[in-house]
Structure 1
């Protein structure tokens, strides 16, 4: 697998995933995004992540994050050309869980990008869009 960029679609697996999404129906796209996020999010801490699913999960999380209020559209030559359907709300938390798992050892993806501040910032930004930090308190303690 080749990586040419630290963005969500800057690798062979994510670019292939984008092609597969383009060939699927709207419901199929939702199912594909949910399936890859679920596989990564539920991979146990003692299991190493599957090679192809890890970069696909980052791409899937970026697509979900793009539909959040603070999300930015995915702009990549290698990303999906077809418009994405509106994703169900549960995919947001699944994307957060998948990103959290991707940066938790053992993770060959995180190990490979450990020294790249752009990749780390990309993952952090996606996570913050999907699960924004609370900025106000509901009541004083």
Structure 2
């Protein structure tokens, strides 16, 4: 995992995902994000792969950026193309995906707990709060 900081786009996987979002036609961008959330929540009690979790977190950050109190995605590793207005129905999907990422059988959670897990978890919880409050 090529990760350099705790932000939603601070890894190779998230940067690659941003490229996928950019490559999608404007009317399909919301579906790219929805698919990332569904892949994570569909794992149920199975072990959650870190790459899926990273993509869901990046997607959640893009949705949260359009919510009241959300922070804009300004990193060079985020999508370069502007996103259209995203449907509000993505917000609860994002919350569910973030909840799943923080469950014990999450590879990404395990990896972060080996280093700076508390600061990373605080960032995920902040992102979740913006989405849940919108």
* TM-score (ref. length: structure 2): 0.92
Question: Is 1:119 the counterpart of 2:120 in the alignment?
Answer: yes
Aligned counterparts of 2:41 and 2:73: Cα–Cα separation in 1: 22
- 1:56-75 residue pairs with structure 2 within 5 A? 56-75=55-74
Question: Is 1:33 the counterpart of 2:33 in the alignment?
Answer: yes
CA RMSD of aligned residues (A): 1.4
SS in 2 for 1:131: helix
Aligned counterparts of 1:102 and 1:42: Cα–Cα separation in 2: 12
Contact 2:49 2:108 in 1 (8 A): no
Describe the superposition over 1:83-130 as per-residue Cα deviations: whole angstroms up to 9, x where unpaired.
011111110000000000000020010111124332112101100000
Compare the two structures and name the one with the higher helix fraction: 2
Describe the superposition over 1:51-72 as per-residue Cα deviations: whole angstroms up to 9, x where unpaired.
3211010000000011111111
- Provide the residue aligned with 1:139 in structure 2: none
Larger radius of gyration: 1
Unaligned segments of structure 1, at least 5 residues: 134-141
Contact 2:109 2:117 in 1 (8 A): no
Runs of 4+ in 1 over 2 A off after TM superposition: 114-118
* TM-score (ref. length: structure 1): 0.88
Aligned counterparts of 1:39 and 1:53: Cα–Cα separation in 2: 7
Q: Number of residue pairs matched?
A: 132
- Provide the residue aligned with 2:54 in structure 1: 55
